[in-house]
A and B are shown apart, each in its own frame.
Chain A
Amino acid sequence: EPEVTQTPSHQVTQMGQEVILRCVPISNHLYFYWYRQILGQKVEFLVSFYNNEISEKSEIFDDQFSVERPDGSNFTLKIRSTKLEDSAMYFCASRTGQFYGYTFGSGTRLTVV
């Protein structure tokens, strides 16, 4: 069964450092997403990406965050200057159409110290 692949699985970074979280969505999917889950809390939407541009973003997704799909296969989330409160599990997801379910990756656990 096709999978969404995320790397790394764990990342520890110092406050103020830049991090890049990487994802390879399912190849024939058209919609791409990043969600995050702070420990013990709900899964929260960050950003959606369609047709090579951001289609929607949440209030969390401020100027410190950016996404790219540089080569038609990878989908990255960059956090420019990490804060302690960015510590969370970050999930990449993709889907083939608007009324289809998502396929989520296994996540990257980001710890900011």
Chain B
Amino acid sequence: TQLLEQSPQFLSIQEGENLTVYCNSSSVFSSLQWYRQEPGEGPVLLVTVVTGGEVKKLKRLTFQFGDARKDSSLHITAAQPGDTGLYLCAGGVQGAQKLVFGQGTRLTINP
């Protein structure tokens, strides 16, 4: 069974600070996706990374896929209250159709 562990599970910081969320596994994934989920809504895709070592930037968000395709990180620069939410990582299982989700990181940015 492939598992993705996210850390931290909860993070509360002040506006303007930087933060990093980690997504780790002992398994290799074909792709790694990051989603943001609001209460009572479905996950919304932020980014997909497929190549080991790949780095993608989305404004103040930087996503990295580990060289061995077993882990990923999400770095937010100068966090804003609008970044508050639940961030989920999800790995594409090799040779399969499904995604395996982490348990999520609940991020709170205080003004």
Could you list which residues of chain A lie within 8 angstroms of chain B, going by C-beta atoms?
4, 31, 33, 35, 41-45, 48, 50, 55-56, 58, 89, 91, 93, 98-107, 109
Contact = CB atoms under 8 A, between A and B. Distances in A.
A103 B44 CA distance: 7
The 8 closest A-B pairs by CB, nearest first: A104-B42, A48-B97, A101-B45, A45-B98, A43-B101, A101-B48, A56-B97, A91-B42
Interface in B47-104: 47-48, 50, 88, 90, 92, 96-104
Contact of A42 (B31, B97, B103): B103
B104 to A, nearest CB: 8
Interface of B: 30-31, 33, 35, 40-45, 47-48, 50, 88, 90, 92, 96-104
A43 B16 CA distance: 30
Contact of B97 (A33, A44, A101, A103): A33
Interface of B is mostly: strand
A99 B92 contact: yes
Choose among A4, A45, A101 the residue with the greatest number of B CB atoms under 10 Å from its CB: A101
Given A43-B88, A91-B42, A107-B42, A100 B48 contact: yes
Contacts of B45: 101-104
A3 to B, nearest CB: 10
A81 B18 CA distance: 49
Nearest to A93: B42
Contacts of A104: 35, 42-45
B42 A56 contact: no
Nearest to B42: A104
Contacts of B100: 45
A56 B98 contact: yes
Nearest to A49: B97
A101 B33 contact: yes
